[in-house]
Structure 1
Amino acid sequence: MTAPNDSPVDSLSFEAARDELVRVVAELEQGSPTLEQSLALWERGEALAARCEEWLLGAKRRLDAARDAASDSGAAAEEMP
């Protein structure tokens, strides 16, 4: 079993957090030698999942803002004489 990555979760890109989360889940599914190692993996996995969710929510906000801006500019263009 490998130790959880010690890099700060809040500095990870979406892809890095997702890839590490996949590894953590796979290790948890295989079973860890000790309860302490399992808990460390679980905690890291929870933090990684939260980081992925932050990225996804941020992406959704950006898409919504872009859609709103496009909708607003389209409506403004229709109002022009």
Structure 2
Amino acid sequence: MTEAKATEAKSEVPGEPMSYERARDELTEVVKRLETGGLTLEESLGLWERGEKLATICEDWLEGARARLAAAMARPGNGDEGGPAPF
């Protein structure tokens, strides 16, 4: 098993979504490994593919957070009635 495949295998818990923080941290490591170089073409491609999956996970989390924030701000009583903002 290549190191890229080993990283992929140990990074996800079946049936449990990966947290944003875990995906972000693993993506950071993938980028560092790719920038360091010294990998075979197959290892580089595997890491690149893993990075793409991790970036998608991060994007999905951020889109969800934006939607939740927009919904919270649209509710009555969120501080937009002329009073001071809650924070």
TM-score, scaled to structure 2: 0.73
* Corresponding residue to 2:35 among 29, 40, 53: 29
Q: 2:66 corresponds to which letter in structure 1?
A: K
CA deviation map 1:25-71 (0-9, x unaligned): 00000114210000000000000001000000000000000000136
Q: Which has the higher helix share?
A: 1
- The separation in 2 between residues aligned to 1:59 and 1:40, in whole angstroms, is 29
Larger CA Rg, structure 1 vs 2 = 1
Aligned residues: CA RMSD: 2.6
Gaps of 5+ in 1: 76-81
List structure 1 segments (4+ residues) > 6 angstroms apart after TM superposition. Answer: none
User: Which blocks of at least 5 consecutive residues in structure 2 are unaligned?
Assistant: 82-87
Q: Tell me the matched-pair count.
A: 75
Q: TM-score, normalised by structure 1?
A: 0.77
- Residue 61 in structure 1 maps to residue 67 in structure 2: yes
Shift of residue 5, structure 1, vs aligned partner? 3.0
Q: In the aligned structure 2, how far is the partner of 1:28 from the partner of 1:59?
A: 29
Instruction: Tell me what 2:46 maps to.
Output: 40
Sequence identity percentage: 52
Q: Report the 3-state secondary structure (helix = DSSP H, G, I; strand = E; otherwise coil) of the residue aligned with 2:39.
A: coil
